[in-house]
Amino acid sequence: MSIDRTHSLSGVSPIQPREASEIQQQKRKEATSQPAVDGTQVKLSDAQSRLMQPNGQDINVERVEALKLAIRNGELTMDTGKIADALLQDTHDLLKSND
């Protein structure tokens, strides 16, 4: 078997210099970070406005601080069986609701 000629392989896509790619990324970043100038106004409902307030009581701050302290001190114990059971139950419920 004889090989008379070989042809160089061409790349799948043309290679761009790194600088050009970085310039394109910078342009995209600038385009997305510019604020809208068209004067669009949004009116939130009263319920939505209340949800946006930072003083919401849906987080038990004392419990969160206690958990942080237990983690820092290495005293937090986890019941992995209970976590696994809850994960399996949630997955089961999700699959059942998709049927």
- The answer to whether position 21 is within a domain reads no
Whether the CB-CB separation of 44 and 52 falls below 8 Å is answered with yes
Question: Domain tally for the chain?
Answer: 1
Residue 16 lies in a domain: no
CA distances from 76 to 13, 66, 68, 71, 79 (A): 53, 10, 9, 5, 10
Q: Residue type at 99? A: D
How far, in Å, CA of 89 to CA of 13, rounded?
47
Kindly state whether residue 10 falls inside one of the protein's structural domains. Answer: no
Q: Using 70 as the pLDDT threshold, list the residues of the chain that sit under it.
A: 1-21, 30-37, 54-57
**76 is a domain residue:** yes
Does 72 fall in a domain? Answer: yes
91 lies in some domain: yes
Give the pLDDT confidence score for residue 98 in this predicted structure: 85
pLDDT, position 73: 95
What domain range includes position 66? 60-99
Q: Which residues contact 44 (CB under 8 A, 6 or more apart)?
A: 52
Q: Give the model's pLDDT for residue 31.
A: 63
99 domain residue, yes or no: yes
